[in-house]
Amino acid sequence: MTSKTPKKKPSFPEVMDELQSRFLLNLPASELASSERLFFQIEQCFWFYEDFYADRFAHLQHVKLNDFARQMFAHCSMLKPLAHRCDELFQDFKTYQRQVPVVGCILLNTQRNKLLLVCNWKGTSWTFPRGKVNEGESDRDCARREVFEECGYDVGDSLSPTQYLELVQQEQRIRMFLCTDVPEDYAFAPQTRKEISTIEWFGFDSLPKKTWSVMPFMSRLKRWVKSSKKEKRTTSYDGVNDETFGNGKADFSVEEMFSVNERLTGQKFEYDGNPHDFGKPTSRPAATRANAPIFNKGLAPMQILTRPLSAPLKRVEEETTCPSPSPPRQSTGSTPFGSFQFDAVDIMAVVT
């Protein structure tokens, strides 16, 4: 039986040799010409060290980025001439980072009363899925990439170039695209290592603590949701609104309905496709008397009548069955309803 030789634990200098060979030695001169581009590569070295060395080997300590940079400048022969400027270059890099635009998405459920937040790896803050724009990357491409990396959800081409909320904090532009109708039961999962610890839905009025980067957007987000819902109600119809009128055949046409209502109430009704506003008179008209006969089309529309004090009370029973349409009612005088008067506001003929 052969026994496996335990893998030798790498020393810290050996790890630094591996990292500089992987990330620094083969860089083009253009990447070394600016402190920003150089520190982007050192940052990549740092995350690789944290993920694949410090997490696996107990003798290798976890360090902060600025401490790691000092050690890399002291170890790498290519960077040693700049070692005395390491802290200065690091501060320039942090200043540059704060100026790079941040772009992401506000993911909303179908009802638009919940939003999706992600918690960072250390659990210190909640925010929208977002990140810094790469060089040459458009805002929408950045938002799509960040949402997929942090949540495993692809927004596709659904992002509108004009539907976003934006603010500037300490000279940094932050833009959040609005993405609606995201399924709440989607299996969200981060696609990157040690960046996101939790992904969760929250109601607008039940946000968790530590949402400093979320709160500046909430008032404008609520106004946008309210406005978008109102706009959706008033524009969600076409020339023939099947949801309102249906496709079924009716003996009592829409035009006849409006004509009867106008004769009954003395007021002209119009319908723009919004059922929430239909039938609301601009002003309450006084009671009027019908001056034209009403002809039945199949089943007659319901008639709401008001009995004058001088008229005797008669019980009218509603027919439960109607085997055949009744013949048209003949007018016996100038008023087809005799001594009855009706409230014009309460009468409405409808298509049945």
Is residue 14 predicted with pLDDT exceeding 90?
yes
Residue 17 — φ and ψ, nearest 5°? -60, -45
Give the residue extent of every domain in the chain.
12-97, 100-235, 245-352
**Which pLDDT does position 244 carry in this prediction?**
47
307 vs 143, residue with greater confidence = 143
> Is 12-97 assigned to CATH 3.50.50.60?
no
Cα atoms in the Cβ-side hemisphere of radius 13 Å centred on 239 = 0
147-199: per-residue pLDDT in tens?
A: 999 999 999 999 999 999 999 988 899 999 999 999 999 999 999 988 999 99
Cα 177 from Cα 161, distance rounded (Å): 8
CATH architecture of 100-235: Alpha-Beta Complex (3.90)
Sheet holding 114-120, edge to edge: 126-127, 114-120, 196-203
- High-pLDDT (> 90) share of the chain, %: 54
In single-letter form, the type of residue at position 51 comes to D
Q: What does the pLDDT average to over 302-306?
A: 46
Contact 88, 94 (CB under 8 A): no
**Which pLDDT does position 30 carry in this prediction?**
82
Sequence-separated (6 or more) residues with CB below 8 Å from residue 154: 144, 147, 148
